[in-house]
Structure 1
Amino acid sequence: MSEALAVVETAGTDTSVPAVSGARQFWRRLRAQRAALVAAAVVALLVLVALAAPLLTALEGQDPTTYHPTLIDSARGGVPIGSLGGASADHWLGVEPQTGRDMFARLVYGARVSLGVSLGAALVQVLLGVAMGVAAGLGNRWVDLVLSRVTDIFVSMPLMIMALALLAVVPGSFPRPVLVALIISLVSGWSTTAKMVRAQTLALKNLDYVAASRLSGWSTWRTAVRELLPGLAAPVITYAALLIPQNISAEAALSFLGVGVKPPTPSWGQMLTSADVWYQAAPQYLLLPALALFVTVFAMTVLGDGVRVALDPRAASRLRIGTGRKREARARAAVPGGAPRKEARP
């Protein structure tokens, strides 16, 4: 209903040209942030590694569950034989202490679990949060009151305590990665999304084009899909990008506490749990999954911040990565005398 032409005023004349598409503007703003582009490349590489885990382990000739007792020194308590944790042409990153399972295979398969759980949980959080927020924003006073109180209850729930309780009572036959993703998504994340979407819906439904659609006889569902969801896309995408690293950290924490993904399914948090007593004898067993978690969470956070700035050009980046000095240099170059000009206050 609101498709318009951008009016560009040049040399005292008005020239109507088609407005630049939102996707093209977003990509142009994102490309201006080098840190976000590097983070996007790192995330893409991690996703590619996770998807290609069977192929990568086949190239190495290993799998994540096979034990290699001949590669560990039982006299020393199960420490891998050789330098760098037993790294060799057959085991690129060495083997696990006590079990002798291949570290590279468990790392790449662990990426599938960590990324799959976090992405699946983020999808459920966004869908449930948007549905609850839009329903509360467009509903009558009682619907808004009930949904808002339910959302407040879930906001106040401590994730770890609720997750520990739920994971302890669910039968072991239920697929553990799916269970962890459902618990993370249903206990946390969606409630904050719902509160943000409700606030945005209350602001958007008073605009002229939304009011016109409702007065024209459109149903609430049609108004939400055709008029409200396009306006909610930017904040929802931004928040979803920031939910993913939080979910990765939550999955790692649950696995570290021993209630997340169960062996022999590999997970980075589970590997950290087993590595807490081997940091001196086999430090690579602790450092490799910790480094993988750090790189993944950091890249996701930087990318989420870049997406937020690209969708809202008025917002400033919270992460000053390699941009502050360049911005200051450009400001000094733009002002004669080498110092940035300060605006005079009245």
Structure 2
Amino acid sequence: MSEALLASETPGAGATKAPVPASGARQFWRRLRTQRAALVAAAVVALLVLVALAAPLLTALEGQDPTSYHPGLVDSARGGVPVGSFGGISADHWLGVEPQTGRDLFARLVYGARVSLGVALAATLLQIVLGVAVGLASGLGGRWLDQTLSRATDVMVALPLMVFALALLAVIPSSVPRPVLVALVVGFIQWGGVAKIVRAGTISLKSLDHVAAARLSGWGGVRIARRELLPALAAPVITYAALLVPTNITVEAALSFLGVGVKPPTASWGQMLTSADVWYQAAPQYLLLPAAALFVTVLALTVLGDGVRTALDPRAASRLRIGTGRKREGGS
């Protein structure tokens, strides 16, 4: 419908053609390229994703795997401390070995990236799908449906994630794959924020002329949502999703650290931190490597999410520049 309204305003053949503005995607990339911090963060995230995808290839180049034990590489007389300097770093074990078990740290670190990033992305996708569906149904539905879904959304937003996730993960049988289970639990609990954003945007958008015209022409709610509402809601949803991913990585690490998330022998950064807290003096790299990986990943995703938000909403950057200019003028 909005396409028809725009077409009706197109000038005739004899009129002078105005320059065609850049598409939304081109404007987004143009604004994102002006932010150096976001570009660096995007490069770091791309490198982490590449490492996670290429984990089998990287470990094959090293000649190790994340689950094989090497008892000869640890000193049992000293409680399982890795033999050699710097935690057993050698040509065969690029980052050393795990205390007590002798498992290769590099292999567990790159496979842990697979689990941590995979769980976070899967949980974020589930949150977006549920939140968008509930928000659209609430904004487009009648008063009774809106009230019901709004109250359910309020309950999910107020629900303490860690407490509820701990309770669920503790009672569900261990036969269910833990990475899948953690992603499902986090996704089903934390969709309320997305639903609130989508509902508010839907209520604001459905009063506009092109949406009212689509409704009067007989379009159904699904078609209106797909053609008129979702394109306009894409920017806030993508921005919120970019900020959800680092949050979900932290949640997965915290659940694994508390012993209810990913279980051994599956490698994840949080699970590695669980057993590393007693080895920070004898084998500090066993604690520092997964902690540094978590810190860099969360920081890069947070900076990238902020850059995406600014690129999708340039008014935020304009307000910041105006406010900074006024402050400078007042101080001079």
1:171 to 160, 170, 173: 173
Q: Structure 1 residue 341: deviation in Å? A: 4.9
Structure with the higher helix share, 1 or 2: 2
Q: How does 1:317-328 map to 2 (within 5 A)?
A: none
Q: Write the distance in 1 (CA, Å) between the matches of 2:273 and 2:239.
A: 30
Q: Once the 2 structures are TM-superposed, how far is the Cα of residue 147 of structure 1 from its aligned partner?
A: 0.3
Residue of structure 1 in register with 2:120 after alignment: 118
Matches within 5 A, 1:187-226: 187-188=189-190, 190-226=191-227
CA-CA distance at 1:55 after TM superposition? 0.2
Uncovered stretches (5+) of structure 2, i.e. residues with no partner: 10-14
CA displacement at 1:317 relative to structure 2: 9.7
Q: What's 1:51 paired with?
A: 53
Letter in 1 for 2:147: L
Q: Distance in 2 between matches of 1:299 and 1:317?
A: 23
C-alpha separation in 1, matches of 2:162 and 2:225: 34
- Percent identity of paired positions between Structure 1 and Structure 2: 74
Kindly indicate whether the alpha-carbon contact (under 8 Å) linking 1:35 and 1:302 is maintained by their aligned counterparts in 2.
yes
Q: Match for 1:136 among 111, 135, 138?
A: 138
What is the aligned counterpart of 2:147 among 136, 145, 148? 145
Higher relative contact order (CA 8 A, sep 6+): 2
State the Cα deviation string for residues 96-141 of structure 1 (Å, max 9, x = none).
0000000000000000000000000000000000000000000000
Superposition deviation, residue 68 in structure 1:
0.5
Q: 4, 20, 23: which is aligned to 2:22?
A: 20
The offset of 1:15, in angstroms, is: 5.2
Match of 2:84 in 1: 82
Indicate whether 1:298 and 2:299 are aligned.
Answer: yes
Aligned counterpart, 1:334: none
Separation in 2, partners of 1:79, 1:155: 45
Instruction: State the number of aligned residues.
Output: 322
C-alpha distance in structure 2 between counterparts of 1:302 and 1:181, whole Å = 23
Question: 1:65 is matched by which residue type in structure 2?
Answer: T
Is residue 247 from structure 1 mapped to residue 248 from structure 2 by the alignment? yes
Q: Distance in 2 between matches of 1:150 and 1:340?
A: 47
Q: CA shift at 1:2, angstroms?
A: 3.0
Q: CA RMSD in A?
A: 2.3
Matched residue type, 2:189: V
Question: What is the SS of the residue equivalent to 2:18?
Answer: strand
Name the TM-score, length of structure 2 as normaliser. Answer: 0.93
- Counterpart-to-counterpart distance in 2, 1:286 and 1:34: 31
Q: Quick check: 1:306–1:317 contact (8 Å CA) kept in 2?
A: no
Deviation at residue 69 of structure 1 after TM alignment: 0.6
AA aligned opposite 1:211: A
Partner of 2:232: 231
Residue matched to 1:158: 160
CA drift of 1:342 comes to 5.8
Q: Give the TM-score, by structure 1 length.
A: 0.89
- 1:205 partner amino acid: K
Which residue of 2 is the match for residue 60 of structure 1? 62
Equivalent position amino acid for 1:233 in 2: A
Structure 1 residue 19 displacement after superposition: 2.2
